[in-house]
Amino acid sequence: MSSLKQILTDGDNFARETGCRITDIREGYARAELTVERRHLNAAGVCQGGVYFTLADITFAAVMNSHQQVTVGVQNSIIYLRSAHEGDTLIAETEETCNHHRLPFCETRITNQHGDLLCIVTGSGYRKKDSFNYDTLG
């Protein structure tokens, strides 16, 4: 028996190697966390933007595929509001705002351990005709 959480955790090597941990998946919702380490810092000494995007991308994939239909990302937009620092915990929560049969849309809000909003990512996907085979979400 495999779950969507297990497939995404085991199958997304980049997200796993970056330190992303999916903590919750429900239909139309996903949550993941990452602790900012020295390896995540840019030349200015703050969390590199690609880390935010990677964390948002793994929750985006979870939400988009939570309906057991293969869905791929086609567009994303990211707005950085605050910087994260070494030792911070980034928490990404993605919610499906439009469950369209072909072009679903999501919003991801990334906060730190204090609840400060750091970044917002919006994105849309394309639902293919193929089924995504898994037994459970979590």
The answer to whether the beta carbons of residues 25 and 14 sit under 8 Å apart is no
Residue tagged 């089924």 (tokens): 131
What pLDDT score does 33 carry? Answer: 98
Q: Give residue 133's pLDDT band: very low, low, confident or very high (50, 70, 90).
A: confident
**Distance (Å, rounded) from C-alpha 129 to C-alpha 20?**
29
SS3 119: strand
Whether the per-residue pLDDT at 105 is higher than 80: the answer is yes
Q: How confident is the model at residue 1 (pLDDT cuts 50, 70, 90)?
A: low
Percent of the chain with pLDDT strictly greater than 90 = 87
pLDDT of residue 138: 83
Residue at 78: amino acid letter: I
Instruction: State the pLDDT at residue 132.
Output: 87
Structure tokens at 30: 């996903």
Condensed to tens digits (0 to 9), the pLDDT of residues 42-83 reads 999 999 999 999 999 999 999 999 999 999 999 999 999 999
HSE (side-chain half, CA atoms, 13 Å) at 127? 18
Q: What does the block give as tokens for 62?
A: 């979870």
In sequence order, the β-bridge partners of residue 109 are 93, 120
